Structure 1
Amino acid sequence: MNKSRRSFLKTAGLSVCALSGGIAGVAGSPAAARSGIAPGRYGKGEKALRAKRWAMVIDTRKFCGPQDYEPLVEACRAAHNVPHIKGPQEIKWFWTDSYEHGFPDDMNEHLSKNVRESAYPLLCNHCGRPPCARVCPTQATYQMEDGIVAMDYHRCIGCRFCMAACPYGARSFNFKDPRKFLPDPVPNPAFPTRMIGVVEKCTFCAERLAAGQMPACVEASQGRILFGDLEDPDSTARQALATGYSIRRKPSLGTRPGVYYLI
């Protein structure tokens, strides 16, 4: 009983994989993960946008309330065929919540009332040190060379270790068949729909970046969300961070979140 939580998750993950071999298949087995077989990648075209470390900067000062975020939520849903499921089994890629829930470890007791009572958009933080990728036994969750934490849905066996490891609640599990909650035809036939029993989350629109387009929420924000290379001092993201006060979600955990909020 003296095993660490990490050791327990690793052992449990291998056990689940062994029991799920008939479902996951060879590509989703721990043997495939250990052998170095590369997970699915996004093919980048000639117009692909590139960065050493993608980061998002949300200028919350330019949003008046939850209603201002709704077009961004819908843009994300349409781009990725995110189903509309109400209640505790909701599938969330981009959503809003209170300051208290979004930033529970903030130590500044003297922020303005407006800051503390506003709604904030939440999404996967695409951490520099993603705990979700470390605990995934099949490499269904992996980190791309540009920092994006991506998913290979075909490898996901539904163990949900990534959900337990994520400190931001940024992942959703498909308890129901998500395709039954999508309109016909689907909003974006070019993006794959998911199936029951797999986890999904925001991908920083890796497929759009590969085609030379900015993330859907960034386009819909009309300049209120900035996206750029965190390691390029001339990028719009770095310039915004250099000129304004920003916060991140739970930075004390050492995950190095890639989403910043200007307040």
Structure 2
Amino acid sequence: MLGLPYSAGGFEIMKNNRRTFIKLAGLAAAGLAIAPKAMASSGGHSPVKPHAEGFHGKHWAMVIDTTKLHDEEEIAKLAHVCHSLHNVPEAKGKKEIKWIWSDEYEHTFPEQENPHMSEEVHHRDFVLMCNHCEHPPCVRVCPTKATYKRPDGIVAMDYHRCIGCRYCMAGCPFGARSFNWGEPRKNLDLTKLNPEYPTRMRGVVEKCNFCVERLSVGKIPACAEASEGAMIFGDLADPESEVRKVLRERFTIRRKPAAGTEPSVYYII
């Protein structure tokens, strides 16, 4: 007699795998089904309420002068200011949550390597953050529109809509997003929380938001304020803004131009 291709135990494993697959497929379908409703309800608007004294722009952008800001300790101080303000948990290793961090030239600008570049420039530390792209792939792939582009160009997050699929992380070519694998509050000093910014929940993605909550009350992003002029923030659509003035007068580059995302963060080298 020919032997059966699968044992009874093998059939049971197949049944369990099939059940799991059907459940996952159902969840994915549900997420895609609610996406149009989520898009309609969000309308591309931020949950941050604007104030009369708030800043208003058509395309917020930032220029980072790496001739003034290129030290790992200086960048770490800016990250501390940002992370404290936004209640970013202090997880380590693969569970690290970061809104601002630093890296060397070869990882920051891999498409713009120059073998004859100055050693000083090549080994500088560069400030990294969300690039708030004009064509953000993270927005395109998010099934629930938890990540969306505001009318002023800022790529924002709605933590309550995030289902933790991490498609946005896969879509971002800059590694600018972090996932909360654990309970964020367990990695926060609860005595030093900023009550004006919400803490997150387990299983959601987060990233730099260009300090939308500060812009709404007439303040520039905290990192730019603390950088002592090394980070210039302004409206790219305004020819008279400081950002446009700097871009006219200084040579700048952006990260990974081949990706076609058109970042809103520029670097003076």
SS at structure 1 position matched to 2:148: strand
**For 1:70-81, what aligned pairs fall within 5 Å after superposition?**
70-81=76-87
| Structure ID, larger Rg | 2
* Ranges in structure 2 where 5+ consecutive residues have no aligned partner: 1-23
Q: Which amino acid aligns with 2:169?
A: M
Q: What residue identity is the alignment partner of 1:241?
A: L
1:213-258 deviations in whole A, cap 9, x for unaligned? 1101011101110000112121111111111111110012110000
TM-score, with length taken from structure 2 = 0.86
Percent identity of equivalent pairs: 52
Contact between 1:17 and 1:30, CA under 8 Å: does it hold in 2?
A: no
Q: Compute the displacement of 1:110 (Å).
A: 3.0
| Residue of structure 1 aligned with 2:244, choices 238, 257, 262 | 238
Q: How many aligned residue pairs are there?
A: 244
Match of 2:198 among 164, 172, 192: 192
- In 2, are the aligned partners of 1:16 and 1:159 still within 8 Å (CA)? no
Cα distance in 2 for partners of 1:86, 1:142 equals: 28
**Aligned pairs for 1:87-126 within 5 A:** 87-126=93-132
Which residue pairs with 2:214 in the alignment? 208
Deviation at 1:41, TM superposition (A): 2.4
On the 8 A contact 2:31/2:143 being kept in 1, the answer is no
Pick aligned residue for 2:42 from 15, 34, 38: 38
Pairwise CA RMSD: 1.9
Contact 2:70 2:126 in 1 (8 A): no
Show CA shifts across 1:23-49 (max 9, x none).
xxxxx9325235x11265221101111
Taking the aligned partners of 2:25 and 2:53, their CA distance within structure 1 comes to 40
What secondary structure, in the 3-state scheme, does the structure 2 residue paired with 1:214 have?
coil
Q: Compare the two structures and name the one with the higher helix fraction.
A: 2
Structure 2 residue corresponding to 1:52, chosen from 52, 55, 58: 58
Distance 2:227 2:193 in 1: 19
- 2:10 matched residue in structure 1: none
Q: Deviations over 1:129-148 (max 9, x none)?
A: 00000000101000000000
Q: Offset of 1:184 from its aligned partner?
A: 1.6
Distance 1:15 1:109 in 2: 51
Which residue identity is paired with 2:133?
C
Structure 1 residue runs of 5 or longer lacking an equivalent are 1-12, 22-27
CA distance in 1, matches of 2:55, 2:208: 18
